Amino acid sequence: MKLNLTKVVNGCRLGKIKNLGKTGDCTMDIPGCLLYTKTGSAPHLTHHTLHKIHGVPAMAQLTLSSLAEHHEVLAEYKEGVGKFIGMPESLLYCSLHDPVSPCPAGYVTNKWLVRFIGLRVGLPKDEVKSVSVWGVGGRVEITASKFMAMQQALQPDWFQCLADGEATCDEATSMKRARKSVDRSLLFLDNCLKLQEESEVLQKSMIIGVIEGGDVLEERLRSARETAKRPVGGFLLDGLQGNPATLETRLHLLSSVTAELPEDKPRLVIG
């Protein structure tokens, strides 16, 4: 993958990403958007109808939340999610959650419930080794190893690394919570990178590192600098979507964060 910038105007980057995909011959324009899919299909449209539309993005976004419960089927299929969904020629990016509904109600409550029970039976306080996604069938808990096993079955071109984005679901992030989201996400990243090294199938897939830290600038910068040290293919700036009231704060955070990121790697935002 090679990112070439042709112009930068007031911080806005214009360019192309070349040598994408398994065969290395796809190109994407930046700025660009991804094709939203639900369970591997554009909403309401068959593949046939979709391609009557001019200008369909070269890269489609799949959500792990809609595919996690079908892991077994995909693992048995073996040939990757692109072929399974009938889009073998499309570039694929696998995000963790659905950008339309990332934080279902009760997400935070569940976590508190787990912690409460954890305390009562004497489990360590910080026992979160998994992240939950919500599919049609309900909650699916995913550890780093389960996550990488799923990515092995999917074989996407890019995938968002397992990360702790809960800090952004809360109304107001505490410093402590923001710090935890950064620490946990870096831990997940290091675990996943190690597991990727051991997987032949995933050699051609690129991990996208996730920048966390809630609304705390210090934590955001730390997340950016630390994530940039790892061999990721690009960066997802998590938690900037959502509540319009906090938009200005978040845009300020956004520009501070991107200043810390290498120029030759793509930066993604959700929703």
Stretch that binds another protein, among 43-51, 138-146, 158-166, 225-233 (CB under 8 A): 43-51
What is the nearest approach in angstroms of another protein to the Cβ of residue 152?
17
Residue with tokens 């992240």: 131
What is the nearest approach in angstroms of another protein to the Cβ of residue 99?
15
Residue 153 tokens, joined: 């079955």
**Does 76 engage in binding with another protein (CB under 8 A)?**
yes
Contact 236, 268 (CB under 8 A): yes
Q: How far is CA 40 from the centre of its chain?
A: 16
| Binding residue (CB under 8 A) for another protein from 41, 130, 241, 246 | 41
The residue among 67, 86, 87, 78 whose CA lies nearest residue 21 is: 87
The site that binds another protein (CB under 8 A) totals a number of residues, namely: 24
Q: Considering only residues 120-159, where is the footprint of another protein by CB under 8 A?
A: 136-137
**Does 39 engage in binding with another protein (CB under 8 A)?**
yes
Residue 120 tokens, joined: 């009562």
**In Å, how far are 60, 144, 146, 249 from 131, measured between CA atoms?**
23, 9, 10, 26
What is the nearest approach in angstroms of another protein to the Cβ of residue 104?
13
Pick the closer one to another protein by CB: 85 or 224. Answer: 85
| Binding residue (CB under 8 A) for another protein from 84, 93, 147, 158 | 84
Stretch that binds another protein, among 10-18, 81-89, 167-175, 259-267 (CB under 8 A): 81-89
Measured CA to CA, the distance from residue 10 to residue 142 in angstroms comes to 40
What is the nearest approach in angstroms of another protein to the Cβ of residue 139?
16
**Does 85 engage in binding with another protein (CB under 8 A)?**
yes
**Does 54 engage in binding with another protein (CB under 8 A)?**
no
CB burial of 202-239 (b: ≥16 within 10 Å; e: otherwise) equals beebbbbbbbbbbbbeebbbbbbebbeeeebbbbbbbb
Residue with tokens 């305390």: 119
| Binding stretches for another protein (CB under 8 A) | 38-49, 52, 66, 70, 72-73, 76-77, 84-86, 136-137
